[in-house]
Amino acid sequence: MPSIKSKHLIRIQDLTNDEIYAVLENAATFKEINERPIKKLPTLRGRTIINLFLEPSTRTRSSFELAEKRLSADSLNFSASSSATVKGESLLDTAETFDAMKVDMVVARHKYGGYCNILADHMDAKIVNGGDGIHQHPTQTLLDLFTIYEHFGRIEGLTVGIVGDIYHSRVAGSLAPALASLGATPIFIAPPAYQPDVPEELGAQVAYTLDEVLPELDVVNLLRIQGERAQGLYVPSLREYSALYGMNSHRMNNLMKKDAIILHPGPMNRGVEVTAEVIADPRMLVLDQVNAGVAVRMAVMYMMLGGDGDVE
Amino acid sequence: MSNKTEQVTDAMVTGSGMVTLIRGARLVDPQLNLDAIGDVLIAADGLIEEVDIVEDGGSRISAPDGACVIDGTGKILIPGPIDLHVHLREPGQEYKETILTGTRAAAHGGWVGVCAIPNTEPVADEGATIRNVLDRAAETAYVPVYPYGAITRGQAGKQLAEISDMLDAGAVGFTDDGHGVQNPLMMRRAMEYAKVFDALILAHAEDEQLADGGVVNEGRVATRLGLPGQTGLAESLQVIRDIELARLTGARLHICHVSTKESVAAIRAAKAAGVRVTAEATPHHLVLNENALSYDYDTRLKMAPPLRSEADRKALVAGLVDGTIDAIATDHAPHAKQEKELEFELAKFGTTGLETAIPVLLTDLVATGQVDLPCLVERLSAGPRRVLGLESVLLQPGCVADLTLIDPEATVTVTEDWLVGKSKNSAFIGRELRGAATDVFVEGVRVMADGVVCD
């Protein structure tokens, strides 16, 4: 079993291309195990993992927690409401407190970019970024890549549209550089206010409308549009956003390639970035992504904590 | 005007009662076009008594009986620098800095005077608070403190502060620094009112709506680090607005901590057109750019305005050289560890600067050939006095002996221990620098000797 060289997984760039493919391969094995009636492996028995979620999260935290349980790690959840940070404890005190508890890994989510980097500087534990501000969300990227790879059998050469509020999206912040590094072509599809300052810095091309590039896309990744950022300052209204950038039956059936797939990091806004008809279509793989999420996170933790012996 | 200066200097001891002879230093005073080896004799009344240029090695001033003789060989003597932009934090935030610790840091850095920003708690926005700062300075300061008052009550931007009352108390200028004055009509009225007294308005130019919560410069680095960016136009548009208001009203305007090439261009054009505008730049904006920020999210590099692009930095240096930028001011902004050891977006803005300025400027601007020494001295010493309307200090007999001796070969490693200020949030921690002030004289009184502040 190959391990991951980098101590932490904070930016997707912490992984080499070979390591990304190794994660995807191991995840495939874990995905099979997740189909079994008994899904638990002893691999990380005795290891302690803290899920430090200072920003609300349902699916990412559940996904990590399931992955940890299935690998037999002991895990603890600290959420925004239960954590001391709401009582004014500083980042460093939080880091030192958990460090004193001798935990092996911290999975951290926070609404501020760079949170994990600062944790890493002050802890012995390995850090996995569960999403930091508008910066990165590397395990989401790995599950996106898994879903793409599983479907196409390759990543290189694919054209991947990422549609929506790219600027505020840590999903895009990790996915685009990974795709570029793996030889795919990421395109950010959004009006200028939703584009990052310098899209090329993330390895992405830019398109201002969906319809101009939709026929070229192999993968359409729809980002969640947050209501407060779609009412006046960034785009005029959800209605107009939906008309220009929403994935609907017309676009799916008339403009999109027949063999293209549609992804969404969830949670979806039905009727905004995606319609119910699209969600019901077999080319919409959002549940495959969720399924892959547990397997990918098992693979990451297994490889980072150096589980011994074969997965089987 | 003269009344004001007297009140400020009253706070200091006049003259040391000590005669001092500085021998064989390189005397650099761009105001006199002077750059030569010489001797300087400081009389007991705190004035320069004699300056002799040494033609060929031999000293020409003989030491009077009892004089303190300082060997200036290999060192540089300049008219003492004044820092136009210092957050002394007293009253109200003494855990960050006090008038005592801040002026002690100033002396350690080679400054002979500092201007105090009024964003204290309470804000210095009336005569009583200005007098309080001057009283505390008289009791505790190592170098003179020139207080600014707020433009608006509580720096809240809603109501003009009592500018006349503060001038009477000794304020040397008015600023809401920490924030820009967001309402253009308020800024217009402030300038119109200041004009009654020919008072100086100092602008912290930042359009908060356009800044949109950005914590680093908008651009590549913001994208890479996943931090909200702030366009340089948040500054430049307000600089342009304030220049036009100064043109309209005829008021004296000073632009604080200029950081963008667009601001430099606007100030240059305004000066050419006769607008009464001056400007300052900080050492950190002159020598660092946004690329200093990396994945360690070092909050010591978080300041307002943010570190900008290399093109902006180069424009600042060009502005410094051609005189568009009148003064180098540190924007010394001390913060406690717990205010900096935080998520980047939550950490306070600001870096300390009093102690690192001269070493940084000598190492990164002069030694690299970007700025020559006389120009640097002009922007540290004469420029700030011109901005404030203070009397010039020249290296010639009869002038007040506010002098700084610099050892260009001194090596400094910036560590928390080396910094004597109360807070250690320096953007230059860890840097090895070459050149530092060793001796500082305020009206002839030696406040630092051989690199050690005289307590």
Question: What tens digit of pLDDT does each residue of B173-205 get?
Answer: 999 998 889 999 999 999 999 999 999 999 999
Question: Is B223 within 8 Å of A121 when comparing Cβ atoms?
Answer: no
Residue type for A209, please?
Answer: T
Q: What CA–CA distance (Å, rounded) separates B116 from B89? A: 9
Question: Is A91 within 8 Å of B343 when comparing Cβ atoms?
Answer: yes
Q: Is A112 on the interface with B (CB under 8 A)?
A: yes
**N residues, chain A:** 312
pLDDT computed for residue A231 by the predictor: 73
Q: What CA–CA distance (Å, rounded) separates B362 from B372? A: 9
How many percent of chain B have pLDDT more than 90? 92
Catalytic entry in A31, A47, A70, A137: A137
Please tell me whether residue A202 adopts helix, strand or coil conformation: helix
Q: Are residues B196 and B115 in the same domain?
A: yes
Task: Give the tokens for residue A55.
Answer: 């920003």
Q: Is B47 on the interface with A (CB under 8 A)?
A: no
Q: Is A168 on the interface with B (CB under 8 A)?
A: no
Whether the CB-CB separation of B414 and B283 falls below 8 Å is answered with no
Place of tokens 């002050």: A122
pLDDT computed for residue B9 by the predictor: 41
Domain that residue B443 falls in: 2-78+398-453
Q: Is A258 a catalytic residue?
A: no
In B, which residues are within 8 Å of A234 by CB distance?
A: none
Q: Are residues B366 and B402 in the same domain?
A: no
Q: How confident is the model at residue A57 (pLDDT cuts 50, 70, 90)?
A: confident
pLDDT computed for residue B170 by the predictor: 98
Phi, psi of A299 (to 5 degrees): -65, -45
Q: Do domains A12-136+290-304 and A138-289 have the same CATH topology?
A: yes
Q: Is A137 a catalytic residue?
A: yes
Greater confidence, A78 or A285? Answer: A285
Domain containing residue B15: CATH number: 2.30.40.10
Mutate to test the interface with B, among A109, A112, A165, A169 (most CBs of B within 10 A): A112
Q: Are residues B370 and B409 in the same domain?
A: no
Helices (H), B251-309: 261-272, 283-287
Query: What is the nearest CA distance from A194 to chain B, expressed in angstroms?
Result: 12
Q: Is B347 on the interface with A (CB under 8 A)?
A: no
pLDDT tens figures, B330-374? 999 999 999 999 999 999 999 999 999 999 999 999 999 999 999
pLDDT computed for residue B10 by the predictor: 39
Instruction: Give domain limits for chain A.
Output: 12-136+290-304, 138-289
Q: Is A134 on the interface with B (CB under 8 A)?
A: yes
Q: Is A11 on the interface with B (CB under 8 A)?
A: yes
Catalytic entry in B39, B331, B364, B402: B331
Phi, psi of B312 (to 5 degrees): -65, -45
Instruction: Tell which CATH classification among 3.10.20.30, 3.40.50.1370, 3.40.1410.10, 3.90.1640.10 matches the domain A138-289.
Output: 3.40.50.1370
Question: Is A90 within 8 Å of B223 when comparing Cβ atoms?
Answer: no
Q: What CA–CA distance (Å, rounded) separates A275 from A278? A: 5
| pLDDT above 50 (res A205) | yes
* pTM metric for this prediction: 0.94
In terms of Cα–Cα distance, which of A190, A144, A185, A140 is closest to A168? A190
Q: Is A175 on the interface with B (CB under 8 A)?
A: no
| pLDDT above 60 (res B445) | yes
| pLDDT above 80 (res B54) | yes
| pLDDT above 80 (res A310) | no
Catalytic entry in A39, A59, A69, A257: A59
Q: Are residues B72 and B86 in the same domain?
A: no
Query: What is the nearest CA distance from B296 to chain A, expressed in angstroms?
Result: 6
pLDDT computed for residue A233 by the predictor: 86
Nearest CB among B224, B227, B346 relative to A201 is that of B224
The CATH code belonging to domain A12-136+290-304 is 3.40.50.1370
Q: Are residues B245 and B227 in the same domain?
A: yes
Catalytic entry in A60, A94, A159, A275: A60
| Average pLDDT of the segment spanning B73-91 | 98
The total number of structural domains that make up chain B: 2
| pLDDT above 80 (res A128) | yes
pLDDT computed for residue B2 by the predictor: 38
Q: B152 in a domain, yes or no?
A: yes
Nearest CB among B295, B338, B345 relative to A112 is that of B345
Share the mean pLDDT of chain B: 95
Question: Is B342 within 8 Å of A90 when comparing Cβ atoms?
Answer: yes
pLDDT computed for residue B6 by the predictor: 40
Nearest CB among B223, B228, B341 relative to A90 is that of B341
Question: Is B295 within 8 Å of A170 when comparing Cβ atoms?
Answer: no
Burial (Cβ within 10 Å: 0-12, 13-18, ≥19) of residue B420: middle
Question: Is B295 within 8 Å of A196 when comparing Cβ atoms?
Answer: no
| pLDDT above 60 (res A84) | no
Share the mean pLDDT of chain A: 93
In terms of Cα–Cα distance, which of B167, B285, B150, B247 is closest to B204? B150
Nearest CB among B222, B338, B341 relative to A197 is that of B222
For residues B259, B262, B268, B269, the Cα torsion angle rounded to the nearest 10 degrees is -160
Q: How far apart are the first and last CA of chain B?
A: 32
Q: What CA–CA distance (Å, rounded) separates B334 from B350? A: 7
| Average pLDDT of the segment spanning A187-208 | 97
Nearest CB among B226, B229, B296 relative to A133 is that of B226
pLDDT computed for residue A79 by the predictor: 80
Residues 6 or more apart from B89 whose CB is under 8 A from it? B96, B97, B98, B102, B120, B334
The residue of chain A with its CA nearest to that of B214 is A197
Q: What CA–CA distance (Å, rounded) separates B98 from B102? A: 6
ipTM score over 0.90, yes or no: yes
pLDDT tens figures, B296-308? 999 999 999 999 9
Q: How confident is the model at residue B4 (pLDDT cuts 50, 70, 90)?
A: very low
